[in-house]
Amino acid sequence: MNEDIHLPENTALPAQILEDFIRRASHRVIVDYCACRKALGCKRYPADIGCLMMGSSALEIHPDIRREVSVDEALEHARAAMDKGLVPLVGKVRIDNLVFGIKDKKHLLSTCFCCECCCISRFARHVPHEIRSEVVMRLDGLTIEVTDDCDGGGACAKRCFLQEIEIVDGRAVIGEGCAGCGRCATVCKRDAITISLDNPAFLEEARSRIEALVDFE
């Protein structure tokens, strides 16, 4: 979420991964609404911020529920979603091919803007983190720590979309299955959660992982 991230000198911000993909994509399509938030009646986040799909197969999504957009429009949509506190998960989401009736599985790159209501987080939180980490991957070199300023208020635990934070003896404890989204830091009133990224090569590594799964250009 780019909240107070401490980076090595001359390292790109994590949001630049998504911006890079948006600029390189052959097509960019915004789905009109988030089916998960709409179906569950989400009260915390707007349902009208839908997924951003990239690649030629995105055009196969029914035109009644999507619109093709420019690079600038896609970037604005992504920024608006993150400003609301939604977590951008970028990658190959196979269920999207099924949901949207897309047969070609190699040319659709999904960006889901997730909250506690979304299908990935609702189901992933019940899967052992050793398995989940292969699906919801944390950036290599990213560290999240709770400082001595923590008073155990619990706002971070309530906001963790994978339920990986507990309050133990009046202090937040982050579990091994933390995906490193940083939402906890955005709601901590005492700024007691620090995020650091000690891997200047993370951008190239993320590109390589995704490009091995989908051709979206």
Q: What is the DSSP letter of 165?
A: E
**Residue pointed to by tokens 């404890």:** 173
Kind of pairing, strands 5-6 and 193-197?
parallel
pLDDT value at residue 5: 53
d(CA 127, CA 37): 21
Q: Which helix (H) or strand (E) holds 113?
A: strand 109-114
Q: Residue 94 above 80 pLDDT? A: no
Q: Residue 104 above 80 pLDDT? A: no
Q: In terms of residue numbers, what domain contains 27? A: 5-211
In a domain, 77, yes or no: yes
b/e per residue, 53-67, with b = 16+ CB within 10 A?
A: bbbbbbbbbeeeebe
In a domain, 196, yes or no: yes
The C-alpha angle 32, 33, 34, rounded to 5 degrees, equals: 145
Which residues neighbour 210 within 8 Å (Cβ) at sequence distance 6 or greater?
21, 90, 91, 92, 109
In a domain, 189, yes or no: yes
pLDDT value at residue 1: 47
d(CA 30, CA 68): 6
Report residue 120's pLDDT band, with 50, 70 and 90 as the boundaries. confident
Q: Residue 9 above 80 pLDDT? A: no
Q: Residue 89 above 80 pLDDT? A: yes
In a domain, 86, yes or no: yes
For residue 187, give the CATH number of its domain. 3.30.70.20
Q: Which of 76-80, 168-172, 181-185, 199-203 has the lowest mean pLDDT?
A: 199-203
In a domain, 216, yes or no: no
How many domains does the chain contain in total?
Answer: 1
The number of CA neighbours under 13 Å toward the Cβ of 175 is: 18
